[in-house]
Amino acid sequence: MNNQSQNTKTTFLAIGDVHGHWDQVIDAIKSATGLLGHVPDLVLQVGDAEALRNEEDLATVHVPNKYRSMGLFSALEPGDLACPVYFIGGNHEPYEMLDAAEEASPTKWGDNVYYLGRSGAMTIGGLNIAWLSGIQRGETLTIRGTSRKERTYYLEAEVDFAKRKGLMLGNIDIVVTHDWPSGIREGRGTDLIRSITEKLEPKLHVCGHMHASHEATIGKTAVHALNAVPGAGHSGNPYGWWRLYRKEHGQIRNIYVGG
Ligand SMILES: [Zn+2]
């Protein structure tokens, strides 16, 4: 760690499951811009973004037909998203297309929108980030099938890869996953995700999937589970569907909770 990275200031948002409601992403960035007095540096999105570019993408999403909808991603115009949005995969994504497109991370997916990939770690905007897409199948998976449903599962090898890349990068600021880590709320989360938190000891772990806002700690890591965005099908109020953070002097502070 050198002085330069110590003194870098980065402001960023974490946003919960979007499910095609990209107008809410635009709104959250605008709200954050108002609070900060400047555009935040980037957005991290915890999966189920449903960034569907066209009917082909839509056809590859694992979702019951009555919920199959294009959403608003394809209607976005250049400049609508004032800062780059980096998303991971949840369990409702066009995985066939994401897997085909994934080359070097991050993969450009739209104007100011990037797919981080199945698993990995890298420095983005002064933040050391590790991530894992997908959800856990009942038992740990070593080989993934190609059906829409099977593509939503992560592999044990991808969990290991996130850890390995994270350790190589070192000093991880943030872990981004769709699933929750286990042990933060009764009956929720997975041990594999928790093993990533415990191995990398990030300052912050953000996750989604349950469409519920929750805070916990694992060791020195603050775990923030994000609610789904308004309109994305959660019950009750949308408290905690986005959060604004500032990294300064090597620390990460949550400076606002949206909802
Ligand atoms: Zn969801």
Q: How far is the CA of 146 from the centre of ligand 1 (A)?
A: 21
Mean pLDDT of the chain: 94
Q: How far is the CA of 219 from the centre of ligand 1 (A)?
A: 27
pLDDT band at 1 (very low <50, low <70, confident <90, very high): very low
Which tens digits make up the pLDDT trace of 80-121?
999 999 999 999 999 999 999 988 789 999 999 999 999 999
Coil, helix or strand at residue 193: helix
Q: How far is the CA of 90 from the centre of ligand 1 (A)?
A: 7
Q: CB neighbours (10 Å) of residue 220?
A: 8
Provide mean pLDDT across the span 125-144.
91
Q: How far is the CA of 233 from the centre of ligand 1 (A)?
A: 8
Q: What is the chain's alpha carbon radius of gyration, rounded to the nearest angstrom? A: 17
The C-alpha angle with vertex 17 and arms to 13 and 21, in degrees rounded to 5, equals 90
Provide mean pLDDT across the span 39-57.
97
- Which tokens is 211 given? 């469409």
The rounded distance, in Å, linking the Cα atoms of 100 and 200 is: 28
Q: How far is the CA of 126 from the centre of ligand 1 (A)?
A: 28
**Strands of 111-234, DSSP E:** 113-115, 119-124, 127-132, 174-177, 204-207, 214-218, 221-225
Q: How far is the CA of 209 from the centre of ligand 1 (A)?
A: 5
The rounded distance, in Å, linking the Cα atoms of 228 and 239 is: 9
The rounded distance, in Å, linking the Cα atoms of 259 and 241 is: 6
Q: How far is the CA of 210 from the centre of ligand 1 (A)?
A: 7
Q: How far is the CA of 52 from the centre of ligand 1 (A)?
A: 15
Q: How far is the CA of 49 from the centre of ligand 1 (A)?
A: 8
DSSP 93: S
- Sheet containing strand 119-124, edge to edge, reads 119-124, 127-132, 174-177, 204-207, 221-225, 214-218
Q: What percent of the chain has pLDDT over 90?
A: 86
| Burial per residue of 148-177, b for 16 or more beta-carbon CB atoms within 10 angstroms, e otherwise | beebbbbbebbbebbbbbbeebeebbbbbb
- Which tokens is 129 given? 């980030």
Helix, strand, coil in percent for the chain, rounding step 5: 25, 25, 50
pLDDT band at 36 (very low <50, low <70, confident <90, very high): very high
Q: How far is the CA of 171 from the centre of ligand 1 (A)?
A: 29
Q: How far is the CA of 207 from the centre of ligand 1 (A)?
A: 11
The rounded distance, in Å, linking the Cα atoms of 189 and 192 is: 9
Q: How far is the CA of 182 from the centre of ligand 1 (A)?
A: 18
pLDDT band at 123 (very low <50, low <70, confident <90, very high): very high
Coil, helix or strand at residue 253: strand
Q: How far is the CA of 2 from the centre of ligand 1 (A)?
A: 39
Q: 159 with 181: CB under 8 angstroms?
A: no
Query: Is a pLDDT exceeding 80 seen at residue 45?
Result: yes
The CATH classification of domain 3-258, taken from the options 3.60.21.10, 3.40.50.720, 3.40.50.1400, 3.40.50.300: 3.60.21.10
Q: How far is the CA of 94 from the centre of ligand 1 (A)?
A: 14
Q: How far is the CA of 93 from the centre of ligand 1 (A)?
A: 10
Q: 17 with 87: CB under 8 angstroms?
A: no
Q: How far is the CA of 4 from the centre of ligand 1 (A)?
A: 38
15 conformational bin, left if phi > 0, alpha if psi -120 to 50, beta if neither: beta
Which tens digits make up the pLDDT trace of 209-237?
999 999 999 999 999 999 999 988 766 78
Q: How far is the CA of 15 from the centre of ligand 1 (A)?
A: 12
Query: Is a pLDDT exceeding 90 seen at residue 8?
Result: no
* pTM (predicted TM-score): 0.95
